[in-house]
Amino acid sequence: MTGDVKIDSHHSKRPPPIALGINVEKPNFPQYAVYSKRLESFEAWPEYIPVDKIDLVDAGLVYTGVGDSVRCYFCGGGLRNWEYGVVPMEEHAKWYPKCPHILLVKGQAYTERLSRGEKPEIDGSSGNVYLDTSAKTNLIDSIAAQSCIEIGYTDHMVQKAIDIYTNKYGKNDFKGKDLCEILFELEENPEAIDTYKEDQSQIAQVDSDTLNEDIEPLETLVEENQRLKENQMCKICLDSRADIIFLPCGHMVSCPQCAPALTKCPVCRKTVNGHIKAFFATTSIS
């Protein structure tokens, strides 16, 4: 006697891991999973080809030694006939949108923009943070500004320091050290900044003695800032941000370029069965 087994179709059709941003595949050419090995393959790269070999290596491509033909170390996809102005990462993503290297380095949103014919946003130095140049960043919520607020300065004073820095240098890539130097100067000599004389009365009202008791030495702040940066860096290349989570252990110690070359987690030595890319919030949610 047999009975009917009822299957819930909602639970039976689970999305594949790659649809969830989880990579469980292994490179087709693991010997080139190491960045330096891919770079070595371009020693005979023809100089007349109008594409930088560093950009090709970043895109996960290996030189085959024939003409301008290259192949991805991970998905095995080939590309050739390079033209001036072409971006290797974009071409790789256009032709092979499911390539795990592209998804680890750039993320699913990157390939989706390309599939819609949109130009991906310019990404940051780590290769995994997209910057919307049309959006106005709330600079008071930056890590540098918040570090000054945490040691005792008011939001008003920190905002003034930000305004002074951006007006003086014409950019907003300030660090906590930069803002602290301006804040120290405002405390010692509020009249030093002529463009902000109308706010001197408000600055003078700040209890400098109380603030100075809570403010750590500038050297301590710089050291702490450096330590936090080092903790976020890839422990393999010490150059890019670590934003790849190893599965199943969950440790995050490597950047997208270094992660595929590791078969065991450097922290716990457990076998790496998959990867997932982490994205860090760069702006506040209002």
Of residues 121 and 21, more confidence is placed in: 21
Q: What is the mean pLDDT of residues 4-9?
A: 50
β-bridge partners, 23: 275
Q: What is the pLDDT of residue 236?
A: 81
Q: Which two tokens stand for residue 165?
A: 């820095």
Of residues 14 and 31, more confidence is placed in: 31
- At residue 184, what is the residue type? F
Q: Which CATH class is domain 234-277?
A: alpha beta
Is 51's pLDDT higher than 60? yes
Do residues 31 and 37 lie in contact, with contact meaning Cβ atoms separated by under 8 Å? yes
Q: What is the pLDDT of residue 119?
A: 77
Instruction: List the 70-72 sheet strands across, edge first.
Output: 61-63, 70-72, 78-79
Q: Which two tokens stand for residue 230?
A: 């080092």
CA distance 251 to 245: 6
**By mean pLDDT, which of 23-32, 41-50, 236-245 is the weakest?**
236-245
Of residues 253 and 5, more confidence is placed in: 253
For 150-163, how does the pLDDT look when each residue is reduced to its tens digit (9 = 90+)?
Answer: 777 788 888 888 88
Is 247's pLDDT higher than 60? yes
Using DSSP, state whether 265 is helix, strand or coil: coil
pLDDT band at 102 (very low <50, low <70, confident <90, very high): very high
Kindly report whether the global pTM for this prediction surpasses the value 0.75.
no
- At residue 202, what is the residue type? Q
C-alpha closest to that of 21 among 284, 276, 271, 283:
276
Percent of the chain with pLDDT over 70: 71
Of residues 200 and 50, more confidence is placed in: 50
Q: What is the mean pLDDT of residues 16-42?
A: 87
Do residues 85 and 38 lie in contact, with contact meaning Cβ atoms separated by under 8 Å? no
Q: What is the mean pLDDT of residues 164-175?
A: 81
Q: What is the pLDDT of residue 246?
A: 92
For 132-150, how does the pLDDT look when each residue is reduced to its tens digit (9 = 90+)?
Answer: 333 334 788 777 787 777 7
CA distance 60 to 262: 15
**By mean pLDDT, which of 60-74, 105-119, 210-224, 249-263 is the weakest?**
210-224
For 198-242, how does the pLDDT look when each residue is reduced to its tens digit (9 = 90+)?
Answer: 444 444 454 455 555 555 566 676 676 666 666 788 888 878 888
Q: What is the pLDDT of residue 206?
A: 47
Question: What own/partner pairs with CB < 8 Å and gap ≥ 24 does 238-241 have?
Answer: 240/125, 240/126, 240/127, 241/126, 241/128, 241/280
Q: Which two tokens stand for residue 220?
A: 């301590």
Report the topology of domain 18-115.
Inhibitor Of Apoptosis Protein (2mihbC-IAP-1); Chain A (1.10.1170)
CA distance 76 to 101: 11
Is the four-CA dihedral 253, 254, 260, 263 of positive or negative sign?
negative
Q: For the chain, what are the domain ranges?
A: 18-115, 139-229, 234-277
CA distance 173 to 224: 19
User: Do 18-115 and 234-277 show the same overall fold?
Assistant: no
Q: What is the pLDDT of residue 37?
A: 93
Q: What is the mean pLDDT of residues 60-81?
A: 96
CA distance 286 to 273: 37
Q: What is the mean pLDDT of residues 104-108?
A: 89
CA distance 238 to 241: 8
